[in-house]
Amino acid sequence: MPNDTLPDSDAESARRRLTGRLVRGTLWSMLGIAALGITRLVYTALIGRTGDPARLAEVNSQVSLAFLATFATAAATGAGAQKFLPLTAARSGPAAAAAVRRKLTWWTVAASGVVIVGLGLLAPELLPGSAFSDVVWVCALIAAYGACSYTKSVLYGFHLPSRYAVLELGADVVILVLTIAAVLWLPGMLLAPLVVGYALFAIGATVSTPRTRPGAMPSMGGELGGFVAYTALGIAAGQGFFQVSMLVARHATSAPEAGAYAAAMSLIGPAFFLPRAMAMAFFPAAAEAVGRGDTAALARHTDAVTRLLLLAALPAFAVAAMVGGPVLRLVFGSGYGDGGTVFAILVLAVFFYVVAVPSVNVLSAHDLALARIPPLASTVGVVVGVAVWLTVGGRWGAGGVAVGYLAGMVVQAGVPVAVAFRRLGIRWGTRLLRYAASTCAGIALSTLALVTGSPGMLAVCVGGFVLVFALLHAREIAGTVRLVRELRTAAAHR
Residues in the chain: 494
Distance between CA atoms of residues 292 and 303, nearest Å: 19
Residue 1's CB: how many other CB atoms inside 10 A? 6
Whether the CB-CB separation of 465 and 318 falls below 8 Å is answered with yes
Confidence (pTM): 0.76
Distance between CA atoms of residues 419 and 57, nearest Å: 38
Angle at 33 between CA 31 and CA 37, to 5 degrees: 120
pLDDT confidence of residue 138: 95
pLDDT confidence of residue 1: 40
* Per-residue pLDDT reduced to its tens digit, 237-286: 877 888 888 888 888 888 888 888 888 888 887 776 666 666 666 776 77
Distance between CA atoms of residues 101 and 83, nearest Å: 11
pLDDT confidence of residue 199: 97
> Position 75: which residue type?
A
Angle at 126 between CA 46 and CA 413, to 5 degrees: 75
pLDDT confidence of residue 279: 67
DSSP string, 428-444: -THHHHHHHHHHHHHHH
Extents of the domains making up the chain: 8-490
Whether the CB-CB separation of 325 and 453 falls below 8 Å is answered with yes
Element spanning 399, H or E: helix 398-424
**pLDDT per residue rounded down to tens, the chain (494 residues):** 444 444 555 555 655 665 566 666 667 777 787 788 889 889 988 998 888 888 888 898 899 889 889 987 999 999 899 889 988 888 888 999 999 999 999 999 999 999 999 988 888 788 877 788 899 999 999 999 999 999 999 998 888 888 999 999 999 999 999 999 999 999 889 999 999 999 999 999 999 998 888 988 888 777 899 889 888 888 888 778 888 888 888 888 888 888 888 888 888 877 766 666 666 667 767 777 777 777 787 888 888 888 888 888 899 999 999 998 888 888 888 778 778 899 999 999 999 998 998 899 889 888 888 888 999 999 999 999 999 998 887 788 888 999 999 999 999 999 999 999 999 889 888 899 999 999 999 999 999 998 888 889 999 999 999 999 999 998 888 877 666 665 555 445 54
pLDDT confidence of residue 2: 43
